[in-house]
Amino acid sequence: MSTQSDKPSIANPAPLGLLGFGMTTCLLNIHNAGFIPLSIMIIAMGFALGGAAQIIAGIMEFKKGNTFGATAFTAYGFFWWSLIIIWSNPVKGIEAADAKSMGFYLGLWFVFTLFMFIGTLKHNKISQVVFGSLTVLFLLLSLANFTGVEKIHTLAGYVGIFCGASAIYSAMGQIINQEFGKTVIKL
């Protein structure tokens, strides 16, 4: 007869999702800040780590019963895949996305992220930093597309680098704290 304690536990998927999000967000926003051009390197990172790794982490969060983590990682994983499709526009006969449509696209992600940020008010401080800065990032990217003001886009890049770095910090903190069995990195 098996008991609940016999059931194998699932590892914490959050560090994987946060690394997928954080590293890809940093990389794209190094481009947005004007340091590197958009290249296949960013697209590949978006597909693999930004998309696939986050979707896997999201599915694992569903298994753990964590609605917030499942929704966040899965949605943002599919954000990266949808962005890649938008950039590559593989469907013949469909018009490429223009700045106005990208403004609406990024604006909807701003609204989603704002509500997710509200959810983090019940979480640790680093989660609030990640989602707070991501909310500002999507707002700035949406405004940059609607207005065409390059300085807003560049500012968004710097906010995005900070956002991605904070997600990497959170991931590393969770891994290191778990490995040492104590708080080594404050979250």
Domain assignments of the chain as residue spans, ordered by start: 11-180
Directed axis angle between helix 14-32 and helix 54-64, to 10°?
A: 150
Residue 2: its pLDDT value, please?
46
Kindly state the average pLDDT of the residues 148-175.
98
- CA 13 to centroid of chain Cα atoms: 14
Element housing 22 (H / E):
helix 14-32
For 28, 54, 80, 147, 183, the CA distances from 141, given in Å and listed in that order, are: 12, 21, 15, 10, 35
Kindly state the average pLDDT of the residues 4-32.
90
pLDDT digits (tens, 9 = 90+) for 108-144: 999 999 999 999 999 999 999 999 999 999 999 999 9
d(C-alpha 79, C-alpha 100), whole Å: 18
- pTM given for the model: 0.94
Kindly state the average pLDDT of the residues 102-111.
98
pLDDT of 90 above 60: yes
> Which two three-digit tokens encode residue 89?
């526009």
Three-class secondary structure of residue 117 per DSSP: helix
